[in-house]
Amino acid sequence: MNTPAEFGRQKRYKWIRFIWVVYSLFFFLDPIQRHSLRSWIQFAIAYPIFLVLYFLPYVIRGWKQKALVAGMFVLGLVYVPINPSAIGIFVFAAAALPFCFASTTTVYLLIGLECVGILIQGLLLSIPAWAWGSAIFFTVIVGIANTAFAQERAANAKLLLAQEEVEHLAKVAERERIARDMHDVLGHTLSVIVLKAELAGKLVTRDPDRAAREMKDLEEIARRALTEVREAIRGYRSQGLLAEIERTQRTLDAAGVRLECDSAPPTLTAPEETVLSLILREAVTNIVRHAGATSCHLHFETEQNYHTLTVEDNGRGGVIREGNGLRGMRERVEAMGGKFLVDSEKGTRLTVGLPVIKLGQMLAGETVAS
């Protein structure tokens, strides 16, 4: 499908073809000077053929286009001996060549052959030297100029296609990002809402005060979910690992799962912290939904140029294939050049390693960005 910009260029090219055909008025000089009915009859036959051969290559592509341009050259060989003022036919043929052949070498070769043909015809038919000389001159000049113009036009077309492809890929990447973020955010939040609702339902008769507190928590979680959905659409930003660990504690407590964290999170960049926070959220959601675990262990470590997060539970394990959640986690980690491992033989052990970004690398990145 043509873009509005392409339609605009096509419209300009359409008017250009009508402007250049004005130079064919020189073809009238010889019939006017001869005052011969025969020359006008010959002109009345040749000129419409020239117009057809001139305009059709603009709308026909492939071998037919090339055949039409070759036909214009043949018309010049046949008609110029009768009407020397029509020697510009060769110039029109040379002007069309760059739009018929992609190879510049082929275009220049054909222009050269055309010039040889003009020279031979001029010498054999004793056409004045100024006539065939000027025809050769303008054939070369116009041919080279149109070759440059055709190359620029082709380059612009490729650039437009590349820009459209980049825009398309950007839209696809953004849709995938939103899909991952919506899965990570809503998957976790809805799981917590289900747990809170079940707990409130069990407590409503036994402990109404605690049930009321759980219902209050449900309201706050739902409001927070709305905020997180908006953040996911415009670009999610984590509140940090410490905030996520606190949220993890509350979620696991509601699910009856004990949380153990034996180390503090390392100092991370904002992108690293966002990725690990989202991965921790998704891992906890999977534990609550599928693991049937009673304990969860978190461990942070920095060694061998990697920041490592390990999330391990004592649940049923047995992860056979990656679902949307695990696949989204893997994509996030691999996009940062990290490592992502899942071991589910005994419970599930998730290990994520992100490469350490050193101060020198950060300063180099900032210098390049600036």
- Give me the pLDDT at residue 196, please: 73
- Give me the pLDDT at residue 223, please: 75
Q: Identify the band that residue 6 occupies on the pLDDT scale cut at 50, 70 and 90.
A: very low
pLDDT digits over 125-146, tens only?
777 788 788 888 888 888 888 8
Say yes or no to pLDDT of 11 above 70: no
Specify the 3-state DSSP secondary structure of 317. coil
DSSP secondary structure, 176-224, as one string: HHHHHHHHHHHHHHHHHHHHHHHHHHHHHHH-HHHHHHHHHHHHHHHHH
- In terms of average pLDDT, the best of 151-155, 162-166, 182-186, 221-225 is 151-155
Average pLDDT, the chain: 77
- Give me the pLDDT at residue 365, please: 43
Q: Is the separation of the CB atoms in 279 and 339 below 8 Å?
A: no
Say yes or no to pLDDT of 150 above 70: yes
Rounded to a whole number of angstroms, the distance between the first and last alpha carbons of the chain is 37
For residues 257-277, give the mean pLDDT.
84
With the C-alpha atoms ordered 205, 207, 208, 212, is the resulting torsion angle positive or negative? negative
Scan for tokens 């057809």, then name that residue: 52
Q: Identify the band that residue 369 occupies on the pLDDT scale cut at 50, 70 and 90.
A: very low
For residues 346-368, give the mean pLDDT.
63
* pTM for this predicted structure: 0.42
> What percent of the chain has a predicted confidence (pLDDT) above 90?
1
Q: What are phi and psi of 258, to 5 degrees?
A: -80, 135
Give residues with Cβ within 8 angstroms of 119, minimum separation 6: 132, 136
Structural domains in the chain?
4-166 (no CATH), 239-370 (3.30.565.10)
Residue 299 or 365, more confident: 299
Give CA–CA dist 234/22, Å, rounded.
56
Q: Identify the band that residue 184 occupies on the pLDDT scale cut at 50, 70 and 90.
A: low
DSSP secondary structure, 160-180, as one string: HHHHHHHHHHHHHHHHHHHHH
* Token pair of 135 as six digits: 């025809």
Specify the 3-state DSSP secondary structure of 314. coil
pLDDT digits over 52-62, tens only?
888 887 777 78
Scan for tokens 């603009």, then name that residue: 58
